Amino acid sequence: MTTQDALARSDISYQLHSYTNAEEHRRQGPCIMERGDGIFVFDTTGKRYIEGMSGLWSVAVGFSEPRLAEAARRQMECLPFYHTFSHKANVPSIKLAEKLISLTEGRMAQAFFTNSGSEANDTIVKMVWYYNNALGRPKKKKIIARDGGYHGVTVAAASLTGLPYLHKDFDLPLPQIRHVRRPHWYHEAQPGESESAFADRLANELESLIQAEGPDTVAAFIGEPIMGAGGVIVPPETYWQKIQAVCRKHDVLVIADEVITGFGRTGQMFASGLFGITPDFMTLSKQITSSYQPLAAVLINQRVASVIAHHSGELGTFGHGYTASGHPVATAVALENIAIIEERDLVGNAARCGAVLQRRLRALADHLLVGEVRGVGLIGAVELVSDRATHAPFDPPGSVGARVVQQAQNNGLILRSIKDSIAFCPPLIITEKQIDQMVDLFTQSLDEVARTL
């Protein structure tokens, strides 16, 4: 038995995988990655792949960046761990909190650190409830999310997530969570309805839900500026302005989940700026460390921060935190990662190379299998349909998308199928030439599958 076979057998026997059919995994086995270099990863056979998804939407500076390894080493030798409980702090977490707030240009006031985006959104749910209790509004606890939205997998975060497979047989969502229509004009618009009119209808639906539930019971609205795991859904024009107007009218807090879009993905540092979102909370993770270390941050504005601080004084403490909140190694790596993003103008690169990616993907719009191409900057999706006129999906939904992604992997390109939408999210360091290589491999894979249908 080869070393690779032994590893595969051990993996099947001992490891339960995320988002994987465990029965199918016993038959198929793993693709085992061994190393990475820039936009590429290599498996244990030595095969090279373009990592067209940045791992999980997250490796901004590419794989095997020596400066991040060195930042971790220096901090491990200096102070490998300390906590932030009971007035304790460490230097990297202080500097990172200050840096993050400075990047929002004063829109946010304080940062709270967690280990993942799921924990960050769980934390926000608790903060929203704490905030309203502090203001003497014990009924104002419901949070409205969106169908197809993705906010994590912990109990509260999975409840916010609007994907059925995160709820089924987990006894979710929690009773305080409500969902509204996703802002996907291609599928959800009525015949002849413009993007602006569609946005009006979505805002009216949100207003109707708040009124039906009772404005004194609705505490917050959460959304990704661009929906990621729900299919890379770019909102229609005027959507965020109209949604925020409804929220402000009813004193409903606005939560911008920038776990995927933060730190340059759209060609701006944060997508909130791109869409004119002025959030009360921001969720950050993934590209904050390029996923070299587990880290996430909750950013809160001054309005929320002052209420939380005052209430903690009344109660004697803010009774929430994690052992690794503000972990010195993770925050040191984040600081170096953000420094690389700024020094190498990776936000600008996302805008420049993103224009190339969007142009190349949109050139596929007339392909026999393609229904819609969408995206901003270095995030995009190509949705495959069985009927271009009616936008009808394949039967069963996701079957053709999965085949295209598997064929792309066979050809040396890793992408992700979200039903029949094929997502693209390459590292921010990608070049125009590499984008051409990536899209060429995808086009080849798409054509190869099309010939078998």
Q: How many Å apart are CA 344 and CA 61, to the nearest integer?
A: 9
| Domains of the chain, CATH where assigned | 31-61+345-450 (3.90.1150.10), 69-343 (3.40.640.10)
pLDDT score recorded for residue 3? 85
First-to-last C-alpha distance (Å) of the chain: 38
23-81: pLDDT as tens digits? 999 999 999 999 999 999 999 999 999 999 999 999 999 999 999 999 999 999 999 99
Q: Is 110 exposed, middle or buried (0-12, 13-18, 19+ CB in 10 A)?
A: middle
pTM metric for this prediction: 0.97
pLDDT score recorded for residue 367? 97
- Joined together, the tokens standing for residue 244 give 């925020």
pLDDT value at 293 more than 90: yes
**Tokens 């039903």 belong to which residue?**
419
Q: Which of 148, 129, 95 is nearest to 217 (CA)?
A: 129
pLDDT score recorded for residue 51? 98
pLDDT score recorded for residue 338? 98
236-266: pLDDT as tens digits? 999 999 999 999 999 999 999 999 999 999 9
Q: Which of 404, 397, 371 is nearest to 184 (CA)?
A: 371
The model's confidence at residue 106, banded by pLDDT at 50, 70 and 90, is confident
Type of residue found at 47 = K
Q: How many Å apart are CA 408 and CA 276, to the nearest integer?
A: 36
Check if the beta carbon of residue 318 is closer than 8 Å to that of residue 308: yes
Q: How many Å apart are CA 250 and CA 342, to the nearest integer?
A: 38
130-185: pLDDT as tens digits? 999 999 999 999 999 999 999 999 999 999 999 999 999 999 999 999 999 999 99
Is the dihedral angle over the CA atoms 309, 315, 316, 318 positive or is it negative?
A: negative
Q: How many Å apart are CA 119 and CA 151, to the nearest integer?
A: 10
Check if the beta carbon of residue 93 is closer than 8 Å to that of residue 113: yes
The average pLDDT across 327-352 equals 98
- Cα–Cα separations (whole angstroms), residue 380 to 127, 213, 233, 358, 395: 32, 35, 9, 7, 24
